[in-house]
Structure 1
Amino acid sequence: MNTIALAVPAAAPTPIKRFYNYLALSPAALILTVFFALPMGMMIGISFSKEEVGGFSLESYGRFFTDGLSLAGFCRTAAMSGLVAIAVTVLGYPVAYFLARSKSRWRALVFALALAPELAGVVLRTYGWLIILEDRGFINDVLLELGLISSPLPLSKNLFAVVVGLTHVVLPFGILSLTTSIQGIDESLERAAQMLGASRVSVIRHVIVPLSVPGIVSSLLLSFTMAASAYATPALLGGAGFKVLATMISEQVLFYIDWPFAAVMSNALLLLMLVISFIGVSFEARHRANRSGTGRGMS
C-alpha cells in the first residue's frame, strides 16, 4: 500500500502577528539595551579616552599590550577559568548521570547536597576554604600532627587554592546543565546497547557521552565565564600576589582611579569570554551537523 505525503507550506505571518511578536520581545530587548548594550558601549568609549585629558587615545591599549603584568593577568585568568571549567565538568558528570538515571531513594539527598553550596554566600564559602587550605589550616595541621610533613604545604595564596574554591562555587551550575542534557537522552538507547553486549562503561563512553556533548559544552562555557568574571574567590584565596583581570580591574578603579585602563582590561575580559563562547558554540553546532549527517547516511 503506497502513501502520499502532501507538504503544506506554512502560512506566512501576518503584519499584526509579526507586530505582536516584536511587542513580546520588546521588554527583554529594552532591558538588554539599557543595562547591557549602553554600559558596554560607554566602557568601550572610555577605553579610547586619555586619563584626565580626554579625547581619543590608544595609550591605554598600548600600555595593556606592553605591560607584562597585564598580559600575565590575562593569561592567568584564561588558565584559571579553563582549569575550573574542566574540573567542574569532570566532577559534575558522574553526579549528573546519577541524578538523571537513578530511581534510588537517595536521589533527592544527592540532589540536595549538589545544590547545598548555593545556600551559603560566596564569601562565606571562600573563607571556609581559606580555613581549610591556609598554612595553619585543617589539612596542614592534620598532616603535621601525623608527622607526614615537616612544614606546611603551599595550599593557599596560589592557583590551586583559587581553582578549588571556584570549582566549589560553580559545580552546582555544571551539574544542573549536565543533568538536563542527560535526561534528554532516550534510555532505550542504553538498553539496546546493553542487549547487544556492551558493558556499562562502553555504553557511557560510546552512547551517553557523545549524545550529551551539548550539555558538556554548556557546562564548560558556563563554568569558564563564571570563573573568569569571579572576584571574591581569587581575591581571598589567591592573595595579593595572585592577580587576575577581575581583581586588577578593581584595583585600577578603586585605588589608581584609572578608568581608561580599567575599561581596556574589561574589554579584554569580555573578548576572552566571547571567543571561548564562539569556539564552544561552533564546536557544538559542528558536532550536531556531523551527527545529523551520520544519521541520514544510516537511514
Structure 2
Amino acid sequence: MANTVSLVLPATRLQAAGQAHLYVALSPSVLMLLVFFALPMGMMIGLSFSDPASGLPSLASYHRFFTDGLSLPGIMRTVSMSLCVAIAVTVLGYPVAYYLARARGRTRAIVFALALAPELAGVVLRTYGWLIILEDRGFINDALLHLGLISSPLPLSKNMFAVVVGLTHVVLPFGILSLMTSIQGIDPNLERAAQVLGANRASVMRHVVLPLSVPGIVSSLMISFTMAASAYATPALLGGAGFKVLATMIAEQVLFYVNWSFAAVMANVLFLMMLVVSYLGIRFEARRRIRLIGRGGHGS
C-alpha cells in the first residue's frame, strides 16, 4: 500500500501543477477579455437603462426604441443587408475556396494572393473605389451611356445594392478562408471514389462535397453576417444619408444627438442579434453532427 501511495501522489501533484500552469497561461487573455470586452459591455448595458437627462434608472430609451417608428425598420434593414452579404459571400467564395483547397503549384499561390489582396487596402479606400464605380457619373454608368445602352444613369449607389456590393468585397476574403479550411478537411479520395462509381462532376459536388462542407458554409454565413451587421464605413458612404442601419444610427446618436443611452440600447440590440445568429449557427451544426453520428451508429 505504501508503494501505491508513493506512485499516486506524484501523479496528483503533476496534474495540479499542469492545471496551475494552464491557468497562468490563460490569465492574460482572460484579463484582457474582462477589461476590454466584459467591462465595457457591462457599462453599456447599464447606460442603456438610464435616463438621458437625469441619469436615473429608466426604461425610456427602450420604450423609444420600440415606438419611434425608425429603430425597428433599421433592424429589418440591417438584417436584410447582412443576409444578402452573407449569401453573396458564401456563393461567390465557394468556387474560389474549392479551387484553393484542391489546387497545387504557382497558380494556387497567385489565386490565393488575389483572394486576400483586398485586405491590403483599408475599408474606407475600398469603399471609395466602389463609390467611384457605382455613382451616377461613375465608371459603369459612363460606359453604358457612352455605348448608348441607357439614356439616364442607373441607380447603382446610395441604396441597398451598393452597400451589399461594397460589403461583399470587404468580407469575401474571410468567407473564402472559412470555406477553404472546411473543404481541405474533406478526403479527395471520396470524390475519386464517387467518380469511379459513375458520378459526374456535378453529382460529386452536390452529393459529396457540399454535404461534407456544411460546417464551412455555416461558418462563412455567420462570419459574413456579423461583419456586415457591425459595419459602419461602407453603409455610411455607399448607402448615403437615407440608408440607415443600426451601426450608422448608433454613430448618429453619439456624434450628432449626444444621446448615449439611446445609442447603448441600439448597440445592445445589435449585439444581441449577433449572439442569436451565432447561437443558431452553432446549434444547427451541433444537431447536424448528432444526426450524422446517429446514422453512423444505426448503420453499424
TM-score tier by shorter-chain length is: over 0.9
Deviation at 1:13, TM superposition (A): 7.8
Deviation at 1:253, TM superposition (A): 0.5
Task: Map 1:120-135 to 2 at 5 A.
Answer: 120-135=121-136
Question: Which residue does 1:74 correspond to in 2?
Answer: 75
Question: Which residue does 2:24 correspond to in 1?
Answer: 23
Deviation at 1:14, TM superposition (A): 3.0
Task: Map 1:1-16 to 2 at 5 A.
Answer: 14-16=15-17
Residue identity matched to 1:116: A
Structure 1 residue runs of 5 or longer lacking an equivalent are: 1-10
Structure 2 residue runs of 5 or longer lacking an equivalent are: 1-11
User: CA deviation digits over 1:264-297, x for unaligned, max 9?
Assistant: 0000100110001111110011111111222222
Question: Which residue does 1:4 correspond to in 2?
Answer: none
Task: Map 1:147-162 to 2 at 5 A.
Answer: 147-162=148-163
Question: Which residue does 1:234 correspond to in 2?
Answer: 235
Question: Which residue does 2:6 correspond to in 1?
Answer: none
Residue identity matched to 1:256: Y
Question: Which residue does 2:137 correspond to in 1?
Answer: 136
Cα distance change on mapping 1:193 and 1:265 into 2, 3 Å: same
Alignment TM-score, normalising by the size of structure 2: 0.94
CA–CA separation in structure 2 for the residues paired with 1:263 and 1:250 = 11
Question: Which residue does 2:3 correspond to in 1?
Answer: none
Deviation at 1:298, TM superposition (A): 2.4
User: CA deviation digits over 1:86-142, x for unaligned, max 9?
Assistant: 000000000000000113532111111101101111111000000000001111111
Cα distance change on mapping 1:13 and 1:188 into 2, 3 Å: farther
Q: Runs ≥4 in structure 1, deviation > 6 angstroms?
A: none
Cα distance change on mapping 1:258 and 1:96 into 2, 3 Å: same
Cα distance change on mapping 1:85 and 1:12 into 2, 3 Å: farther
CA–CA separation in structure 1 for the residues paired with 2:145 and 2:29 = 56
Question: Which residue does 1:275 correspond to in 2?
Answer: 276
Deviation at 1:12, TM superposition (A): 11
RMSD: 1.5
Question: Which residue does 1:6 correspond to in 2?
Answer: none
Question: Which residue does 2:220 correspond to in 1?
Answer: 219
Residue identity matched to 1:94: P
SS at match of 1:155: coil
Question: Which residue does 2:259 correspond to in 1?
Answer: 258
Pair 1:167-2:168 in alignment: yes
If each structure's helix is expressed as a fraction of its own residues, which one has the higher value? 2
SS at match of 1:106: helix
> How many correspondences in the alignment?
290
CA–CA separation in structure 2 for the residues paired with 1:75 and 1:252 = 19
Deviation at 1:20, TM superposition (A): 2.0
Alignment TM-score, normalising by the size of structure 1: 0.94
